[in-house]
Amino acid sequence: MRLHFEPGQAPSVGLIGYGRFGRAFASLLAGEGIPVRAFDPGSDVPADLQAPSLASLVAGADMIGVAVPVPAMPAILRQIRPLLRPGQLVFDVGSVKVHPVEAMREILGESIPWAASHPLFGPVSLSLAERPLRVVLCPNPAHPEAVERLRDLYERIGCLIIVQEPEAHDRVMAGTHALTFFIAKGLLDTGVNGDVPFTPPSFQAIARTIASVREDAGHLFKAIQLENPYAAGEREKLLASLSAIHAALEHPESVPASRGSAALSIPATNAPPAELRETRDLIDAVDRKIVKLIVQRSELARRAGHAKAQAGQKVHDPAREAALFEERRRWAAEAGIEEETVETVFRSLVALSRRIQGEPG
């Protein structure tokens, strides 16, 4: 594995679609110094971002992001396919993954690198400054390098990466995203909203969900219900559960005593608290970055070993290592972290470097 973009280097991104998410995504990219342009005949794209044509957008981009409604993706992919060069990368940002992956596999195949992603954020969460930003990436055995390139792009804008197969993603989204929108739509259609003088805390979270659904475009509701192959099954399970609960509440005397408490109570959960799960996710993201830095350091150690060999120097340089450890201890002290622990880490890294250079650590 290698880092795809050196410090200061950034890929150029062309966005096809400049709706509410496209605008938010373009702003994120531009904020990190990533060159971005957009093309969308149906939206007002700012002059400094606007590509004059689809062909111009594709020609000037290293990475092409397809930010259109999921049902429109196949037509867009067929339209840009003749314009693409083998070195370019195409990626999507759809809320479902099985159908977009099938479309990219069929239309782009093995000659054009492609990757599937689902940013788990939008204009509302960005306006509330919610962090961390999460993104699902789907593995692509035909183009693993494309997935890593897209990972690098998302990490540049501060995203936490979650890797999921398309089917696993859609199953999770069917039982979460799709059901949330389904419930919120039902509440809205029955006249429930948060515009009342007072509400209990339990309803405040629901009110925020309703507001979020209202903010999202209508096509998103239809897409996550109709394009997700598992959404219908989850809706049916929910409706069956609600019907059973309703029946038990209407006729509690008909519920067997052995099932009465279970039918009319909320079960406790043993799952870790949300804050703990989020913290663990963030630790995983930091650890992945540490591994990438170790890879980068190892490459530099290999270069140093080659230079030593050319100069006729030995691999082991005790004076240099002693100075290195002393400096790292000073850095640790300045950062307020245990000096001994930091030295232990760097002793392991130096031992790895010596092995890479051909001498036992």
Question: CA-CA distance, 102 to 74, in Å (whole number)?
Answer: 9
Q: What percent of the chain has pLDDT over 90?
A: 56
What number does CATH give the domain 279-356?
1.20.59.10
DSSP codes joined into one string, 157-187: TTEEEEE--HHHHHHHHIIIIIHHHHHHHHH
Residue 272 has pLDDT above 60, yes or no: yes
pLDDT tens figures, 99-139:
999 999 999 988 999 999 999 887 766 666 667 889 999 99
Q: How far apart are the first and last CA of the chain?
A: 23
33 exposed, middle or buried (CB, 10 Å; 0-12, 13-18, 19+)? Answer: exposed
Across all residues in the chain, what is the average pLDDT? Answer: 87
Question: CA-CA distance, 126 to 206, in Å (whole number)?
Answer: 19
Task: Output the pLDDT for position 7.
Answer: 44
Q: What percent of the chain has pLDDT over 70?
A: 87
Question: What token pair was written down for 107?
Answer: 């239309």
Name the DSSP class of 135: E
Confidence of residue 40 (pLDDT cuts 50, 70, 90): very high
Question: What token pair was written down for 229?
Answer: 């192959």
Question: Comparing C-alpha atoms, which of 215, 213, 231 is closest to residue 99?
Answer: 231
Question: CA-CA distance, 63 to 77, in Å (whole number)?
Answer: 14
Pick the CATH number of 13-115 from 3.30.230.70, 3.40.50.720, 3.30.420.40, 3.60.15.10: 3.40.50.720
**Dihedral angle over CA of 299, 304, 306, 311, nearest 10:** 170
Task: Output the pLDDT for position 321.
Answer: 92
pTM of the model: 0.70
Task: Output the pLDDT for position 261.
Answer: 54
Quickly count: other Cβ atoms within 10 Å of residue 120's Cβ: 17
Residue 199 has pLDDT above 80, yes or no: no
Task: Output the pLDDT for position 2.
Answer: 34
The contacts found for 125-128 with CB under 8 angstroms, 24 or more apart, are: 126/24, 126/27, 126/28
Q: Which residues of 66-76 are buried (b: 16+ CB within 10 A; e: fewer)?
A: bbbbbeebbeb
Query: What are the boundaries of each domain within the chain?
Result: 13-115, 169-250, 279-356
Backbone angles phi, psi at 66, to 5 degrees: -95, 105
DSSP codes joined into one string, 318-334: HHHHHHHHHHHHHHHHH
Residue at 196: amino acid letter? V
